[in-house]
Amino acid sequence: MNKLLTIKIISFVVMAIGVISATGWIFHIPILSTAYPTWMQISFPGAISFIVTGIIIHLVSLSFGGHNKYFVFLPFVSTFLFLFTSVFLAASLIGFRTGIGDDFISSLTISNGLAQGGVTSAVTIIAGLALSAIGFLFTLNFLKFKKIYSVLGIVILGIGTTGLLGNIIKLPFLRLTLPGMATQASIPTSLLIISMGFAIYLLSKIEAVEPTSFTTIKSRLIVSVVSISFLSTVFLGVVNITSAGNIIKQEISNKIRLFSEAKEGEIFVYLYSLENRISDFSTSAIIKDNLKKVNAGSPQFSVLISQHLTENDKTLDPNLISMFVLDKKGITVASTKESYLGSDHTQDEDFTIGSKGTSVVNAENEPDYAPGTIIEVATPIFDDKTKEVLGVLVGVFNTEKLGQIMSGNFQLQMGALSSQNSSIQTLRLVLVDKNKNAIGYGNSLPSKNANAEIDTIPVDECLAHGKEISGEYVNHFGVKVIGSSMCIPDRGWTLVAEVDSKEAYSPLVTVQYGLGAITVFIAIFIVLNAIVNANKISDPIKELQEGADKISKGDFDHKVEIKTGDEIEQLANSFNRMATSLKFSREELKTYATGLEHKVFARTKELNDKILDLEKTKTSLSLAKAEDEAILTSIGDAVMACDKDGRVILFNKVAEELTGYSVAEAIGHHFSKCLRFIKESDGTLSINFINEAIETGKKTEMANHCLLVRKDQTTVPISDSASPVLGKIDNVIGCVVVFRDVTKERQIDKVKTEFVSLASHQLRTPLSTINWYVEMLLAGDAGNVTDDQKKYLLEAYGASKRMVELVNALLNVSRLELGSFIIEPVPTDIPELAKTYLKDLEKERSKKNITLNTNFAPEIKHLSVDPKLLGIIFQNVFSNAIKYTPENGKVDISIGHGENEDVLITVSDTGYGIPDSQKERVFEKLFRADNARFHEVEGTGLGLYIVKLILDQAGGKIRFDSEENKGTTFYISLPKSGMAKKEGTKSLT
Amino acid sequence: MNEKIKKILIIEEDTTFFKAYQEMFKNKGINIMNAVTGREGLTMVKTENPDLILLDVMLPGGMNGFDVLEDLKRTEATKNIPVIILTNLDSETNVAKSIGAKDYLVKANTTKDDLVKIVMDCLEAPCPEP
């Protein structure tokens, strides 16, 4: 259940019960104040406390729920509760009676001695103080004291529980009573306190809404001053008035009591005198003797007694109405009135009490007299000798003199100057017999119903409990009086002295009105003062606030005029200074802003210029881009560009046509989707060269003889290359792949290859026949030849040989250029291979007397190379060295290791060298250096070109150092892994 | 010298070469025969059962030297006859050897003496593997 709702319900219940109970007290409705039984009763202050407490909790819960406009009332009610409960605390501790609520307590409840309407319980006091503390704490800070709420809630809960337990299990120390005036709490009180404690505990568990409402300083000041000063003053006034009233009431009660005590004495004295008189008279011999005779059975003697009684009747006492004598059986035997004779008094007090001793007795069975108008005095008549009771003498007196004594008229008659009613007009005394008849009534004022039955609280209390009381009640006239009762238990009489409350309280009312008036004046003064002071404080603040508003609206010349001579005036001065400096700052700002505007204008212009420049650049860039795009589109080759993740970003028209994929299908996808290159030989995918280009940042080429698998799964032979696209800092940002359909080229190549083969065949056929026949001629197969003939034949043979070599060289060049030659590496003994080719040159070397030095590292025996290709290299390089070295020169050949464990072949000669100007053309096709041509006629100009082509394809390198007329050194290096294998169709010759 | 005259079948279109071979091998006690086309060559192999075949690659009649070589190697009776390719087409060495040629000689690059020596060596059975 919602905690806030629970708290509100509890606060309402507590308030409602408080209101019901207080209503009960004020309007004397016992069922509401639950006057009976006592354990159900909520005291009047308790009821008031509950109402106020309910309001406090309700206000707090409203504030917690966000409705904090009621918040301002909280100090007011908290102060009230605090003052209220502390008055009771003080009253309990010091022991005076506050009188609060006394006015509301009916006489009935007082006389019963049950109600303690004006007294609150200790439990209520403690709980009330704790609750007012909560109210104050809450006023101080909305949320800060949550923990304290929880503690106080538990404390209040504990107090209530203790009180409840004390009530239920009747343990005195649990009842939390205070000696004096704080009583135990009733069960409903305890229960209400418990529920309040619970509500406060719940409060501490609520996530409160932050206060948002606006409260003016003025209203806060007024509320706080009013709640503290005004309420305190009113309280003090009320307590003064009620306690003063209480004291005066006490005083009056005491006086009346003293008075009734004194009157009781007087009455006793008078009655005693009556008793003495009757007693003395009973000793008369006439009575005794004649009564003895009557008792002895001679009734005629009673006449003598009656005669005697009548004779003395008038002289004995002026108030004596009649006398009669009862015999020992209780029968009237003699009387001043004949009508009395023979009446039976056996059961009457005059006989029962009178036979035992002289006493005033209640008149019974006296039909001649109205009740309460007579007093009977009975006395026993003794036999002088035997001391035996012979009978009883009864004197009947009227109450005239008793009334005079009681009213004080007697003392006036006796010469006194004043009596009780001179000072207190309504003071009256009533003597009531056991039948509640007023036997004596004293009041100078005329009284109505003087002889009515007196059935008032004091009489009832006396008759029922023998208890003398003082207090306020309603007398038998229905008038509210303050009275005091004296009980005369022997006779069952009650003496009541009472004064009309109206008269008794007249001085008190004056005092109370005076005090009330003073309180009201002070309160009005406080309220006015609060308003004036609040205005005095809040008006300058308001003015300051209005000034601030004006300044915020731009009115910097506004000056706040406050002459309070205090901190606020200082604040106003500071405020004015601030406004002035603000004004200056603003002007400075304005100046600055103007400057700034100019600057901004200038900068904006600059920016605009730059933007224009940029636009121009952009236009030219987009033109360039369009151009690039046009180039890319119209380029004859297919172009695909991708980013570094391989996503296609460009795909030109030729690429579309070639692959069968559209631009839309390609862009944004990985290039492998539309570029499916496979090896012609085994159909495996061959796109790694693109990844390699991206990874290494180097241009790569696809393996030879690749096919592109088109979208429709047909294939096209293609050739292509992948170039990485490098960013500004040489980082790879993508890759461009250029590829083209080589179907036609293939066809051309094929035709070309076939042509070359055919041409070489056709060229060689006659040459080989010539060679063989010349060889046979030289060998003498056709008979001996002369030296001259031999010389000619050799020339012809040499020329023919060169022709063959030229054809071979051309064939090789053709194959190398077509790339269709095979590299087939096998482990080869390199030095051995070199020796084979050197042997072929041996003849020429020795002819020119060239010194040959070889230095072959023995371990280089199993390098993986194509022996045929390396052979071509050796043949060309070695023969060049011999050929272009003059007679008696020197050639050094070494095979060893170079850098990175590469195999390094060095061929060094002391030949003609290469002119500096022609060094860079050495490896060109058909190039021969000028000096070489000069010195040596023979030479195709293809040798080094072939060597270079082979090494480029096989992964080797060649370079040279040369100085004209000094010599040349060629350096040929092969990787330590040997030659790279290469697929192809033709091997070189 | 030898008890039996060796027979060499030369399958060669160009009769100029056949004449040259005849000159080269005269007085060597060798019987040289010539076939001009591949088919003729194959027929002669069956009839003459030569000890060595010198085979050119470029042959007329739709069957080139490799076709002939393959046929020879397929046939049980002829597969053991050594065949030397002797041509002016080059760079087919590997193909030839893979089919089963003993050697692949380019005419223009082979001297008469070398050729005679290779042929004579091959006739000395068994023909050495190159």
Read off the DSSP letter of residue A104: G
**Do A913 and A962 contact (CB within 8 A), yes or no?**
yes
Q: Report the pLDDT value the prediction gives residue A519, as an integer from 0 to 100.
A: 83
Please report residues of B whose CB lies closer than 8 A to that of A769. Answer: 16-17, 20
From chain B, the residues in CB contact with A811 under 8 A are 90-91
Summarize pLDDT for A11-28 with one digit per residue, the tens.
888 888 888 888 877 777
Does residue A128 sit in helix, strand or coil? helix
> DSSP states of A389-412 as a string?
EEEEEEEEEESHHHHHHHHTHHHH
From CA A188, how far away is CA A470, in angstroms rounded? Answer: 31
Which 3 state secondary structure label does DSSP give A681?
coil
What pLDDT, on the 0 to 100 scale, is given for residue A703?
64
Confidence of residue A968 (pLDDT cuts 50, 70, 90): very high
Q: What percentage of chain A reaches a pLDDT higher than 90?
A: 7
| Residue B37, CA distances (Å) to A759, B46, B56 in order | 21, 15, 10
Q: Give yes or no for a contact between A954 and A980, defined as CB atoms under 8 angstroms apart.
A: yes
Please check whether residue A645 is in contact with residue A735, taking contact to mean a CB–CB distance below 8 angstroms: no
Q: Name the phi and psi angles at A367, rounded to 5.
A: -65, -20
* Phi/psi of residue A314, nearest 5 degrees: -75, -30
In angstroms, rounded to a whole number, what is the distance separating the alpha carbons of residues A569 and A536? 12
Q: Is A986 on the interface with B (CB under 8 A)?
A: yes
Q: Which of A761, A769, A811 sits opposite B20 (nearest CB)?
A: A769
Query: Which DSSP symbol is given to A342?
Result: T
Helices then strands, each counted (H, E), chain A: 29, 24
User: Average pLDDT in the A403-407 region?
Assistant: 81
> Confidence class of residue A704 from pLDDT cuts 50, 70 and 90?
low
pLDDT higher than threshold 50 for residue A457? yes
Band (pLDDT 50/70/90 cuts) for residue A2 is confident
DSSP 8-class letter at A93: I
**B63-75: average pLDDT:** 87
A842 at interface of B, judged by CB pairs closer than 8 A: no
Per-residue confidence (pLDDT) for residue A95, from 0 to 100: 62
Confirm or reject contact between A767 and chain B (CB < 8 A): yes
pLDDT tens digits, A431-455: 888 777 777 666 644 454 455 667 7
**What is the layout of strands, in order, in the sheet containing A359-361?**
A332-335, A320-327, A389-398, A374-382, A359-361
Q: What is the pLDDT of residues B18-45, one digit of tens each?
A: 888 888 888 888 889 999 888 898 889 8
**Confidence (pLDDT) at A852:** 92
User: Cα–Cα distance between A579 and A586 in angstroms, integer?
Assistant: 10
Q: Which tens digits make up the pLDDT trace of A170-179?
A: 666 666 665 5
Find the Cα–Cα–Cα–Cα dihedral B101, B105, B111, B115, rounded to 10°: 10
Do B89 and A761 count as a contact with CB atoms less than 8 A apart?
yes
Which CA distances in Å does A773 have to A782, B22, B111, B117? 9, 12, 10, 16
B88 — contact with chain A (CB < 8 Å)? yes
B126 preceded by cis ω (within 30°)? Answer: yes
Euclidean distance between CA atoms A229 and B73, whole angstroms? 138
Q: Is B94 on the interface with A (CB under 8 A)?
A: yes
Task: Tell me if residue A493 falls in helix, strand or coil.
Answer: strand
Q: At A96, is the pLDDT very low, low, confident or very high (cuts 50, 70, 90)?
A: low
pLDDT for A782 beyond 90: no
Strands, sheet with B30-35, edge to edge from the N-terminal-most edge strand: B30-35, B6-11, B52-55, B83-87, B103-106
Q: Which residue has the higher pLDDT, A532 or A724?
A: A532
Structure tokens at A500: 């009309």
Identify residue A895 by its one-letter amino acid code. Answer: I
Closest Cβ–Cβ partner in A760, A768, A987 for B94: A987
Q: Which two tokens stand for residue A518?
A: 């003073």
Average of per-residue pLDDT across A518-542: 84
What local confidence, expressed as pLDDT, does residue A210 receive? Answer: 62
The reply to whether B112 touches chain A by the CB within 8 Å rule is yes
Q: Which two tokens stand for residue A772?
A: 């063989």
Q: φ, ψ for residue A46 (rounded to 5)? A: -60, -45
Tokens describing residue A183: 């009583």
Higher pLDDT, B95 or B118: B118
Omega before A75 cis (within 30°)?
no
Higher pLDDT, A145 or A666: A666
Q: State ipTM.
A: 0.86
Q: How far is it, in rounded angstroms, from Cα A256 to Cα A484?
A: 6
As given in the structure block, the two tokens for residue B128 are: 């050495």
Residues A193-238 pLDDT 10s? 888 888 878 777 777 666 566 667 777 777 777 777 777 887 788 7
Instruction: State the Cα–Cα distance between residues A291 and A293, nearest whole angstrom.
Output: 5
Query: What pLDDT was estimated at residue A676?
Result: 85
Mean pLDDT on A112-116: 37
Confidence tier at A906 by pLDDT (50, 70, 90): very high
Question: With pLDDT > 70 as the criterion, what percentage of chain B qualifies?
Answer: 91
Cβ-based contacts of A814 with chain B (< 8 Å): none
**Distance (Å) of CA A546 to CA A537, A549, A555, A561, A564:** 15, 5, 11, 12, 17
* Cβ contact A764–B24 (<8 Å): no
pLDDT tens-digit map of A331-368:
888 888 888 888 888 888 888 888 888 888 877 767 77
Give CA–CA dist A736/A731, Å, rounded: 14
- Lookup: tokens for B92: 């087919």
HEC profile for chain B? CCCCCEEEEEECCCHHHHHHHHHHHCCCCEEEEEECCHHHHHHHHHHHCCCEEEECCCCCCCCCHHHHHHHHHHCCCCCCCCEEEEECCCCCHHHHHHHCCCEEEEHHHCCHHHHHHHHHHHHCCCCCCC
Query: Torsion angle of alpha carbons A194, A200, A201, A206, nearest 10°?
Result: 150
Q: Do B16 and A769 touch (CB under 8 A)?
A: yes
Pairing of strands A967-974, A903-909: antiparallel
- Summarize the confidence of residues A400-411 as an average pLDDT: 81
Burial of A653 (0-12, 13-18, 19+ CB in 10 A): middle
The answer to whether the Cα torsion of B45, B47, B49, B52 is positive or negative is: negative
Confidence bin at A496 (pLDDT 50/70/90):
confident
Give the per-residue pLDDT at A112.
35
Q: What is the average pLDDT value for chain A, to the nearest integer?
A: 80
**How much is the CA Rg of chain B, to the nearest whole Å?**
13
Whole-number pLDDT of residue A877: 92
For residue A734, is pLDDT > 80?
yes
In chain A, the residue whose alpha carbon lies closest to the alpha carbon of B105 is A989
Averaged over A244-259, what is the pLDDT? Answer: 79
Question: Average pLDDT, stretch A245-265?
Answer: 81
Instruction: Give the one of A764, A781, A987 whose C-beta lies nearest to B108's C-beta.
Output: A764
Cα distance from B33 to chain A (closest Cα, Å)?
A: 18
Instruction: Mark yes or no for CB contact A989/B106 under 8 Å.
Output: yes
- Find which of A154-163, A301-310, A491-500, A845-854 is predicted with most confidence, using mean pLDDT: A845-854
Inter-residue contact A482 to A252 (CB < 8 Å): yes
In the prediction, which pLDDT does A299 show?
82
Q: Is the pLDDT of residue B78 over 90?
A: no
- Under an 8 A CB cutoff, do A771 and B111 touch? yes
Binning pLDDT at 50, 70 and 90, where does residue B125 land? low
Is-contact B108 A807, C-beta < 8 A? yes
Alpha helices in A283-408 (DSSP H): 285-295, 302-316, 349-352, 400-407
| Contacts of residue A693, Cβ cutoff 8 Å, sequence gap at least 6 | A699, A700, A722, A723, A724, A735
Secondary structure element (H or E) that encloses residue A864, with its range? strand A863-865
